[in-house]
Chains A and B, each alone.
Chain A
Amino acid sequence: MNETDITQLWVYLSTKPLTGLTITLVAYAIGFWLYQKSNRNPLCNPVVIAIALIALVLHLTGTPYAAYFEGAQFVHFLLGPATVALAVPLFRQTATLKRALPVIAFGVLFGSLVASASTVILAWALGASPETLASLAPKSVTTPVAMGIAEEIGGVPALTAVCVIATGIVGATLGPTVMNLARLKDWRARGFAMGVAAHGIGTARAFQVNETAGAFSGLAMGLNTMATALTIPFLWHWMFG
């Protein structure tokens, strides 16, 4: 088989949804394998590895993102149902929730507003474009919801996805050190803050360190998803509408 044959074969394959879907799963499997090999080091994030590998393949083969997404959309579609499914782990925290409901509700609203307001103010002061601001605003909630919010307020969902994932990695890697510097010793408060600021990636990290921190992180993440989805769009329309 000479080079022209291979090129023609790729031209044929790149139009098939199967190719995009297969590349997505293979790249993630490699990323996850490396993550486990590295002793679950948060710097070896499987999502980041998968994105980098796929971006490299698309670049080397000159495949447009739209052609890749033809196949990848089947994975992407599951984000919606998975977001609905977050109700189940949230329900498991009902007992904790009932014990300190006013404090938890206040904490989530506080964290959600600090995260989005400081993001928008800082990025605006440094001269970000309006689309970038809208894409960054929901960066502390889980990706599917953040993308939905960004779309509602005029952001670019693809940029939001990248920023959300980067936020989770920053929170999970640097967060514990910064909280140590602030002399924060309460596992519940640490986990809670991790979930509010660094969503699922932070929660995964919190669970590895301490069970209590993990449970509070998951609780805060779930509630923050709702709080942010309910507050940002209204605040945004009210301020910039």
Chain B
Amino acid sequence: MIAAFALILVCQLFGEVVSELFDLPVPGPVIGLVLLFFGLLIKRKPPKILTDAADNLLIHFSLLFVPAGVGVVTQIDRLKGDWLPIAAALIISTLLAMVLTALLMSKLLPKQETVEKAEDAQ
């Protein structure tokens, strides 16, 4: 378990160093993600301790968002000032991106199983 966490941290550290060194606008952890992903592709069979460690970190992934989310208390004024563009972007853009992507993929993906009744697809 310690070795697996160490490996994950090494990937992140590598990502942070690369991001800093080459002045990349990409966050360090994302470079770490790519590195680990390619490492797994090369290894083909990931060690169980690594997959266990990753799964444990991700079970309550949403808990990790809480401290940042509480930062909303420092943003009340900005939210009040820009409430209309924020609300419009959140609702319209999200649903637009979702529907257009789904339409594109339903055309491009090779034919397969479909939803029998659209009503069930809540």
Contacting pair B85 A126 (CB below 8 A): yes
Partner of B82, one of A103, A128, A212: A128
Q: How far is the CB of A57 from chain B (nearest CB, A)?
A: 10
B79 proximity list for chain A (CB < 8 A):
159, 162
CB < 8 Å neighbour of B70 from A65, A78, A128, A178: A65
Give chain A residues whose Cβ lies under 8 Å from the Cβ of B93: 115, 118-119, 122, 139
A76–B64 touching, CB < 8 Å: yes
Residue of A88, A136, A163, A229 touching B55 (CB-CB under 8 A)? A88
Q: From A28, which residue of chain B is reached at the shortest CB distance?
A: B63
Q: How far is the CB of B99 from chain A (nearest CB, A)?
A: 5
On whether A143 and B102 interact (CB within 8 A), knowing A91-B40, A189-B109, the answer reads no
A148-198 with Cβ < 8 A to chain B: 148-149, 152-153, 156-159, 161-167, 170-171, 174-180, 182-190, 192-194, 196-198
Whether A76 and B68, one on each chain, are in contact in the complex, defined by CB atoms closer than 8 angstroms, is: yes
> Are B98 and A162 within 8 A (Cβ)?
no
Contact in complex: B29, A83 (CB < 8 Å)? yes
User: Among B81, B113, B122, which residue has its beta carbon within 8 angstroms of that of A129?
Assistant: B81
A43 smallest CB distance to B (angstroms): 13
Partner of B78, one of A45, A131, A153: A131
Which chain B residue has the least Cβ–Cβ distance from A184?
Answer: B102
Give the chain B neighbours of A200 by CB distance below 8 A: 61-62
Instruction: Provide the B59-103 mask, 1 if CB < 8 A to any CB of A, else 0.
Output: 011111111111111110011011011101111111111111111
Is B33 a contact partner of A84 (Cβ separation < 8 A)?
yes
Q: Is the beta-carbon distance between A118 and B75 smaller than 8 angstroms?
A: no
Contact B27 A103 (CB under 8 A): no
What does the 1/0 interface line of B33-46 toward A look like (CB < 8 Å)? 11011011100001
A123 at interface by CB-CB < 8 Å: yes
B5 CB contacts on chain A under 8 angstroms: 81
Cβ-defined contact, A115 with B63, below 8 A: no
In the complex, which residues of chain A have a beta carbon less than 8 angstroms from the beta carbon of B29?
A: 79-81, 83-84, 144-145, 148
**Are B58 and A89 neighbours in the complex by a CB distance under 8 Å?**
yes
Q: A193 touching B105 by the CB < 8 A rule?
A: yes
| Residues in B1-51 with C-beta less than 8 Å from chain A | 5, 8-9, 11-12, 15, 25-30, 32-34, 36-37, 39-41, 46, 50-51
Min CB distance, A64 to chain B, in Å? Answer: 9
Say how far A55's CB is from chain B's closest CB, in angstroms: 5
Closest A residue by C-beta to B72: A162
Decide: A192 near B78, CB < 8 A? Known: A123-B85, A175-B98, A187-B113: no
C-alpha gap A169/B39 in the complex (Å): 33
Chain B proximity of A204: nearest CB distance (Å): 8
What are 16 residue pairs bridging A and B, where the CB atoms are less than 8 Å apart in the complex?
A50-B66, A54-B70, A78-B64, A79-B65, A89-B54, A122-B93, A123-B82, A123-B85, A148-B30, A152-B27, A159-B71, A182-B103, A184-B106, A189-B101, A225-B30, A233-B26
Please give 14 more A-B residue pairs, beta carbons under 8 A apart, in addition to A118-B96, A167-B94: A28-B60, A81-B9, A84-B11, A85-B8, A110-B104, A114-B96, A114-B100, A139-B93, A158-B75, A159-B75, A174-B91, A184-B103, A196-B98, A201-B62
B-to-A contact residues, CB < 8 Å: 5, 8-9, 11-12, 15, 25-30, 32-34, 36-37, 39-41, 46, 50-51, 53-55, 57-58, 60-75, 78-79, 81-82, 84-86, 88-106, 108-110, 112-115, 118-119, 121-122
